[in-house]
Amino acid sequence: MAPRWKGETAEAKEPMSVIVSKLQTSLIESNAQGLLSGCAVLLEALPEQTELLYRACIGRPLITAEKDKKQWHQLSFEEALYLCCVLKCIKIAGENKCAKSNDELWHYMMVKRVGFPVMFKAYSHLRRKNWVVRAGSQYGVDYVAYRYHPAFVHSEYAVLALPDDEDGGSENSRLKVWSDFHCTLRLCGSVAKTLLVLHISRNGEDDVVSLSSLEHYSVEERVVTRWNPEVSRDAK
């Protein structure tokens, strides 16, 4: 499926990998540090970083009284952890203003959000492939994935991240019954998205250990579409 453009396409052409790389360099140079705040991370950014965060579609700017100065951004746990532990371009501090270690962050986020390891694995999996990933609650899924910035294109994929548990754990109990499948596929169809299911196997890793255990998780991508009988018909 090709991306569905919203209008002018020229501006979108800079590859996402280049934009993210510029953001990474800039944040490293300025020793950027985020602050844990409940279920989010606040990050103060220079004007050029604000521009790059917007173009990379990471976080959202908070409304502030000051203009033409530094701008505060609110990052989700996934976004903050990705910048901190995958791109290694920000530090994140807790209430005492001291930067937390990766494992301290990991533990904090896991306690705050049920099923966070599986969600972060899915988020980072797609981001590493240069998809733009945003929350999908509007469409009843975990994420939506865009090929370019959402200002230019509609999202192509509605993404569900499902742990591949033997016990069918209740952590993200989606697509276990037909009515849920029908509901999700019909909704995806009506908003012109393809359902992408990321089955995430823990491969025996216990998810409470540490961030490094995430490397042992594996991701299986399944695109779910309705079968079109025309496809297999003889072209006579």
73 three-class SS:
strand
Q: How far apart are CA 223 and CA 151, in angstroms?
A: 25
The size of the chain, in residues, is 236
Q: What angle do CA 42, 214, 121 make, to 5 degrees?
A: 60
Count H helices, E strands: the chain? 6, 10
Question: Given the complex with a second copy, which of 120 and 148 has the nearer CB atom?
Answer: 120
Sort strands 91-93 and 60-61 into parallel, antiparallel or unpaired: unpaired
Q: Among 21-29, 45-53, 145-153, 179-187, which window interacts with a second copy (CB under 8 A)?
A: 179-187
Among 9, 17, 130, 137, binds a second copy (CB under 8 A): 137
Question: Given the complex with a second copy, which of 154 and 174 has the nearer CB atom?
Answer: 174
Q: How far apart are CA 73 and CA 59, in angstroms?
A: 6
Residue 177 binds a second copy (CB under 8 A): yes
Has 236 been annotated as catalytic?
no
Q: Which residues pair with 133 in a beta bridge?
A: 145
Q: Say if CB 161 and CB 133 are below 8 A apart.
A: no
Among 31, 96, 179, 228, binds a second copy (CB under 8 A): 179
Has 193 been annotated as catalytic?
yes
**Shortest spacing between CB 193 and a second copy, in angstroms:** 12
Q: How far apart are CA 99 and CA 111, in angstroms?
A: 18
Q: Among 56-64, 175-183, 214-222, 225-233, which window interacts with a second copy (CB under 8 A)?
A: 175-183
Question: Given the complex with a second copy, which of 77 and 148 has the nearer CB atom?
Answer: 77
Q: Which of 139, 146, 157, 217 is the catalytic position?
A: 146
Has 107 been annotated as catalytic?
no
Q: Which residues bind to a second copy, rule: CB under 8 A?
A: 136-142, 160, 168, 170, 172-174, 176-187, 190
Residues known to be catalytic: 146, 154, 193
